[in-house]
Amino acid sequence: MIKLFRKIRQDLLNEGKTSKYFKYAIGEIILVVIGILIALSINNWNENRKATIEETAILESLYENLILANQQSEVLITDEKTLKQLLIRVLRVETKPVEIERHTISDSIFKSAVWDLQSDLPIINTYVNLKNSNKISLIKSKTINKKFTDLDFHFNKLNDALEDRLSVHQIRIDDILEKDVNFILLIKSNVPEISTVNESPNNYEEILKDKRIRNLLGMKLDFTQDVIDRRVALDIEMEYLTSLIVLELNNR
């Protein structure tokens, strides 16, 4: 094709048809430009198609991750609420005084109230990988991208609450099990083959009259309520983000 164009130009020059030569040359340039534009258009279309396929795969993976994360979140919230009720029971601060007398504090109940602590966070691997690889921009939806910012905010708030509770727990609350009770009795439920017949029993009614112990468990209860609130807020944020992703995928 190039040889043909070159021959036509040469023939026009040889025949002295300069004006026709220039018109032909301009026409040839226009054809070349059009060809280049078509090639670029096809290339852009192909790149956009690849980007859309990759974006869809990312959104589908995020959806699956968020469903699992919501399930994890619900389990974690349930664990926190169980701990909250244990602390309320041990401290004898139920809102229904009639039920207080029916409750006895066993070694296992006291151990769970003081010892138990949940520090896990829901896991969204796809989102973490997107951030680490700087591929968040592949998701074109501004609404979804804004929700990522909100998600980070709630994750950070929850993590702060968990770290605050863990710090106080490690520094002060764990001391209760070390200094104020016979801990050997408390491990019987976890190590059933041990004998505790020669161990002095724990009088939890007396132990829980100690102002320091009550205040420490009260602090744990307060921290736990804060963690519950943060976990619920994150759970709501993940559910909303999931619904946005479903909407985006359905519109494709």
Report the pLDDT averaged over residues 130-137: 88
- For residue 200, the 8-state DSSP code is P
Q: Bigger pLDDT: 113 or 101? A: 113
Per the prediction, the chain carries an average pLDDT of: 87
Report yes or no: 218 and 172 within 8 Å, Cβ to Cβ: no
Question: How remote is the C-alpha of 74 from its chain's centroid?
Answer: 13
Predicted local distance difference test score (pLDDT) of residue 14: 55
- Most confident stretch, 6-10, 16-20, 21-25, 122-126: 122-126
The pLDDT tens digits of the residues spanning 171-181 come to 999 999 999 99
How large a percentage of the chain has pLDDT more than 70? 85
Q: What is residue 40's predicted lDDT score, i.e. its pLDDT?
A: 78
187 CB contacts (<8 Å, ≥6 apart)? Answer: 111, 194
Higher pLDDT, 110 or 31: 110
Range scoring the smallest mean pLDDT among 13-22, 157-166, 199-208:
13-22
- What confidence score (pLDDT) does residue 144 get? 95
pLDDT of residue 12: 47
Residues near 164 by Cβ (< 8 Å), separated by ≥ 6?
A: 223, 226
Q: Are 85 and 163 in contact (CB under 8 A)?
A: no
Q: Can you give the residue ranges of every domain in the chain?
A: 2-250
CB 62 within 8 A of CB 128: no
- Contacts within 8 Å (CB) and 24+ apart, 208-213: 208/90, 208/91, 208/92, 208/105, 210/180, 213/176, 213/180
Q: How many CB atoms lie within 10 A of CB 224?
A: 22
pLDDT surpassing 70 at residue 159: yes
Residue 118 in tokens: 């949940």
Asked if pLDDT for residue 6 goes beyond 60, the answer is no
**Taking residues 127-155, what's their average pLDDT?**
92
Summarised one tens digit per residue, pLDDT across range 195-251 is: 999 999 999 999 999 999 999 999 999 999 999 999 999 999 999 999 999 999 998
Burial class (CB in 10 A: 0-12, 13-18, 19+), 245: buried
pLDDT tier, 52 (very low <50, low <70, confident <90, very high otherwise): confident
How far, in Å, CA of 114 to CA of 87, rounded?
8
169 secondary structure, DSSP code: I
On whether the CB atoms of residues 70 and 238 are closer than 8 A, the answer is: yes
Residue with tokens 């280049």: 36
